[in-house]
Chain A
Amino acid sequence: MSKQKIVVVGNGMVGHKFIENMIEHPDYDQYEVVTFSEEPRLAYDRVQLSYYFAGKTVDELMLTSPDFYDENGVRFIVNDKVVTIDSDNNKIVTASGREESYDKLILATGSYPFVPPVPGREQDHCLVYRTIEDLEAITASAKESKVGVVVGGGLLGLEAANALQNLGLKSHVVEFAPRLMAVQLDEGGGQLLRSKIESLGVGVHTEKNTTEIVAGETCRYRMNFADGTHLETDMIVFSAGIRPQDELARQFDIEIGPRGGIVIDNFCQTSAKDIYAIGECALWDGKIFGLVAPGYNMAKVAVSHITGGQEAFEGADMSTKLKLLGVDVASIGDAQGRTPGSLSYTYSDGHAGVYKRLIVCAENKKVLGAVLVGDVEAYGNLLQMMLGDIDIPGSPEAFILPAMDGAAPALGVDALPDSAQICSCHDVSKGDIFEAVKGGCTDIAGIKSCTKAVTGCGGCAAMTTQVMNAALTEMGVEVNNNICAHFEYTRQELFDIVRAKKIKTFDQLISEHGHGKGCEICKPAVGSMLATQWNDYVLSDDNIQLQDTNDIFLANMQKDGTYSVVPRMAAGEVTPDQLIALGEIGKEFNLYTKLTGGQRIDFFGAQLHQLPVIWEKLIAAGFETGHAYGKSLRTVKSCVGSTWCRYGMLDSVSMAVLLEMRYKGMRTPHKVKMAVSGCTRECAEAQSKDVGVIATDKGWNLYVCGNGGMKPRHADLFATDLDDETLIKYVDRFYMFYSHTADRLQRTSVWMDNMEGGLDYLKSVIIDDKLGICEELEADMQRIIDNYECEWKKTIHSKERLKRFAHFINSDATDDSLAYVAERGQERARIDMQARAKISKGEIIKTLDVTEVEAVEPV
């Protein structure tokens, strides 16, 4: 039997999802799939489109790749629009004249932005916001503009306004309705959103009907409104709603809704034989769904129907939670309270900028809808109560009132049925998450990668965590983030105690808040917190018992019990005289010497008793400790920057030196690394650091939360075009917030990935001071900086401390078990030859002998 041929018109988010579901179907080998795209590339993540402005590349936005399609035998044709459907002969024709027959045709043509028929709308700088090409056009236009207007104050309009604001334009939103987000919000919510957005400097103009766009006086254009007022602007982005892309279907006899949209039944079949429609072009029960989740659902249903399954489309919930211009907004169900007999509760706090309205049924038992602005914490619980038709536990108002003592009745995730949908973007149910946990995904990162939950809009992060914890508890795994057996607190809680009670010693902390004597986990962790908070000498009598050997001897222990010595060499900058001094010291103590991956010099093989003598000489030559041993700032790598490099935009070396000198000695939950590049060529690899800085022609771009190591992760762009002062301010806040809230030995990337709200939340705390703590963070950092002293300098001046640097307390002898062999002109620790031969599964792995290299003869 020959394969059934399926042609998918449109390779957008939903078209691609359909293909993905086909490929995953067990009977996929009986089908042949062909897809056409009008756009120049395969499907990309339109939902995340705005991140393009924040530095995401097209590659990062792609949902698939030619390779993936090739591997799975999917034929694809991009840049070719389907222009005709010959439904009688089951055939389509494209703009380039290509013909393709089909057994089943899938219309996934999406929608297009509606541009109101205002005279003057065809001019050059009048744009829309839907595709990557649109965003490129907006970027180009913004370069020649100072003021920008978005027509439309709905979800997308506000997202577009945010983009214009970020592109550095003075921006305005012009809305026809009396309030912003008229579809989702009620009057009160819309008002609050408006005042929040205005306070960010965005002009909001409601009840404005644009009558024409003419030449401007102070700007390129002038928009004239029906009420006689006007607004001057250099560019306009229309975002006044979407219209289903049903142009193709209009050519022949297929049922179309009165206001557009291809009519489908519960199986996504259109009125024409063998033709289905899915996504934003489809009209179901008189409704177009302008969100991706219902489209994904339709894709699933269509695949099921074609392959003989039973699934049906039953509508979709349009509740949303998102952040617009930094303001949290959520809307659930019947947000306007239109259900007959419904009751409503409203809470509003003008000072904190919070507005919440809850709509319940006449019997006061079920949630019908809600509007949340400024504080959306209740979203998950309220949504689940509405979707699951669950009785409200306790009194409804408790869900929108701020948590007083006694706290809101929590809706335990236990109350949810297994089928409850937790992540709507990827249709992940409570049951799916339970299954994933049982299959071994026991942390959020694991759940993300095996269920895809939280990887869409991210709105379900809190709920997903709760469900995961419930599953862990059910499996008998104790869900606790206690730091160890000696404290029933997380690191963050302990740190709060240290700060609130001004605790200065481990003994006080453990006797008042813990039990037992502590261990190798809590002691260094508390030592690190005390150092972050008070920056006292790490080797004081009180503190010394907390430090692991590296911190006690201020050096890294090597496999044979000797130590390495790493002086600070900020930004990798070193003078010839310093190099000579280092050379002499290395030679005198016969230390194995190499350059580290952090742009500095490491000496290996120093014995305990040699450390103070070596450091005395290093300090005399002007060096300081490099903290290579601490959970602290390591290096700030730098490229050569504008002083020498022909591409350098700014002086990256000076900035790296400044940063390294500022943060040196700072103790953190895990080590932190930084780098500064002088231009976008990024020779310092700043995007692989906890904090990376890259010069632009307008200042510094700041990246955060990257790392190399076991699980490399690129840093995320955090803020752009900063001046020196703002850059330092943000970095101060970032490090202090990390130090206060991260888990022990948690690097910044994992810290942020586990944080609810992720990067956006971090921005709101650090840039917008959402928690009102920035002043305190800066003051805490200043204290660390003010109290800095070189630990080695202090140590070599303390007779008491120097006593510890002897191998034996009762003899001048040294550790005679140490042995070295010569290799490539230096001494290296000896391990017996047996151990040196690399053995795997009983067989010796062949190695080449590189103990000597051939000398290069001088000419």
Chain B
Amino acid sequence: MSQDWKDICNFSDLVKNTGVCALHNNEQVAIFVDDENHVYAISNYDPCGNAYVLSRGLIADCKGRLTVASPLYKQHFDLQTGECLEEPENSVKAYPVRVENGKVQLSA
């Protein structure tokens, strides 16, 4: 099955080890890039703090798993899967994401 991808922004708009937020199909998506130029996308909504803030968290290495620590109450969300390490019932959606021709893309 072929996937359709939608351009979100230039890869050069991203700053290493930080996140940004994108509006995609009316959903808020947090997009991160690590220091090896891998990009990740999970929901921007923090179910623990009830606010759209995850893109503004710090990237943290938890025993080898790359996560974002919510800026509100510091729960960790796995960047690959959206799993919440402290409160698995509060895990969030992860989105397919890629970089093509210098563009960050989410699957349409």
Task: List residues of chain A with CB under 8 Å of any chain B CB.
Answer: 485-486, 507, 516-521, 523-524, 541, 544-545, 547-550, 552-553, 557, 559-561, 803-804, 807-811, 813, 815, 817
Contact = CB atoms under 8 A, between A and B. Distances in A.
Contacts of A524: 58
A545 B16 contact: yes
Given A520-B69, A557-B71, A561-B53, A548 B16 contact: no
A815 B49 CA distance: 15
Interface string B34-58: 1100000000000001111100111
A517 B56 contact: no
A808 B52 CA distance: 11
B97 interface: no
Given A486-B61, A516-B61, A520-B58, A807 B34 contact: no
Given A507-B35, A517-B34, A552-B56, A809 B61 contact: no
A813 B61 contact: no
A544 B15 contact: yes
A520 B74 contact: yes
Given A518-B60, A810-B23, A815-B52, A549 B34 contact: no
B64 A810 contact: no
Contacts of B34: 517
Q: Which 9 A-B pairs have the closest CB atoms?
A: A545-B17, A519-B60, A517-B61, A549-B71, A520-B69, A561-B51, A520-B58, A549-B56, A809-B20
Contacts of B62: 519
Contacts of A804: 15, 20
A374 B62 CA distance: 47
Given A486-B61, A561-B52, A803 B35 contact: no
B32 to A, nearest CB: 11
Given A541-B15, A545-B17, A803-B13, A811 B23 contact: yes
A607 to B, nearest CB: 11
A629 to B, nearest CB: 11
A21 to B, nearest CB: 48
Contacts of B49: 559
B62 to A, nearest CB: 7
B61 A808 contact: no
B44 to A, nearest CB: 9
A809 B21 contact: yes
Contacts of A553: 56
Contacts of B58: 519-520, 523-524, 545, 547-549
Contact of B53 (A507, A544, A557): A557
Contacts of A808: 21-23, 28
Nearest to A519: B60
A810 B22 contact: yes
Contacts of A541: 15-16
Interface residues of B, number: 35
A557 B57 CA distance: 11
A559 B72 contact: yes
Contacts of B60: 518-521, 523
A397 to B, nearest CB: 48
Contacts of A552: 18, 56
A519 B65 CA distance: 11
27 contacts: A517-B34, A518-B60, A518-B61, A519-B69, A520-B57, A523-B60, A524-B58, A541-B16, A547-B58, A548-B58, A549-B57, A549-B58, A550-B71, A553-B56, A557-B71, A559-B49, A560-B51, A561-B51, A561-B56, A808-B23, A808-B28, A809-B31, A810-B8, A810-B24, A811-B22, A813-B23, A815-B52
A832 to B, nearest CB: 10
B88 to A, nearest CB: 19
Contacts of A485: 63
Nearest to B36: A517
B66 interface: yes
Given A519-B61, A545-B15, A548-B58, A817 B51 contact: yes
Nearest to A507: B35
Contacts of B21: 807-809
Nearest to B74: A520
B18 A545 contact: yes
A524 B8 CA distance: 29
B59 A517 contact: yes
A809 B51 contact: no
A7 to B, nearest CB: 61
A549 B18 CA distance: 10
Given A548-B58, A815-B52, A517 B35 contact: yes
A523 B53 CA distance: 19
Given A517-B35, A561-B72, A804-B20, 10 more contacts: A519-B61, A520-B58, A520-B69, A520-B74, A544-B18, A545-B18, A545-B58, A559-B49, A809-B9, A817-B51
A557 B35 contact: no
A486 B64 CA distance: 11
Interface in B1-25: 8-9, 13, 15-18, 20-24
Contacts of B74: 520
A811 B60 CA distance: 27
Nearest to B13: A809
Contacts of A549: 53, 56-58, 71
A808 B23 CA distance: 6
A516 B64 contact: yes
Contacts of A557: 53, 56, 71-72
A552 B20 CA distance: 12
Contacts of B31: 809
Contacts of B13: 803, 809
Most chain A CB neighbours (cut-off 10 Å) among B9, B13, B23:
B23
Contacts of B22: 808-811
Given A517-B34, A545-B17, A810-B8, A817 B56 contact: no
A487 to B, nearest CB: 12
B1 to A, nearest CB: 25
Nearest to A545: B17
Given A516-B61, A517-B66, A810-B8, A817 B52 contact: yes
Nearest to B76: A520
Nearest to B73: A559
A719 to B, nearest CB: 39
A553 to B, nearest CB: 7
Nearest to A814: B23
Contacts of A519: 58, 60-62, 69
A523 B20 CA distance: 19
Contacts of B66: 517
A810 B30 CA distance: 12
Contacts of B16: 541, 545
A508 to B, nearest CB: 13
Given A807-B21, A808-B22, A548 B59 contact: no
B96 to A, nearest CB: 17
Nearest to B16: A545
B60 to A, nearest CB: 4
B79 to A, nearest CB: 11
Contacts of B57: 520, 549
Nearest to A803: B13
A177 B21 CA distance: 80
A519 to B, nearest CB: 4
B8 A809 contact: yes
B48 to A, nearest CB: 11
Nearest to A541: B15
B61 A548 contact: no
A560 B60 CA distance: 22
Contacts of B72: 557, 559, 561
A813 B52 CA distance: 14
Contacts of B23: 808, 810-811, 813
A831 to B, nearest CB: 9
Nearest to B68: A520
Most buried by A among B31, B51, B74: B51
